[in-house]
Amino acid sequence: TAADATTDSDSDTDSIYARCNLWLLNTALHHAAGQWPLRLICLWNGAADEGPGGTGQMVRAVQSRGGQVHWIDSRGL
């Protein structure tokens, strides 16, 4: 549920980027309301440790909620 997204253990609420990720995730979960699977389409270089609010954090958050991630690998562009 959308309420679950606010307790994301990977988030660092001091980071504006992490707060943005949470807002995006909460908004998507709210609009989905169980009617369609959560999907993330991201352009990402695959860096594992980007810090709070990075694309990796969002990928993990979506996957932990059973969502699908469609990753466009920017290293090949």
What is the mean predicted confidence (pLDDT) over 51-62?
90
* Token digits of residue 48: 């594992």
> Residue 11: its pLDDT value, please?
44
Quick count: other Cβ atoms within 10 Å of Cβ 50?
14
Is the pLDDT at 48 greater than 50, yes or no?
Answer: yes
> Residue 20: its pLDDT value, please?
94
Is the pLDDT at 5 greater than 50, yes or no?
Answer: no
- Under a CB-based contact definition with an 8 Å cutoff, are residues 50 and 58 in contact? no
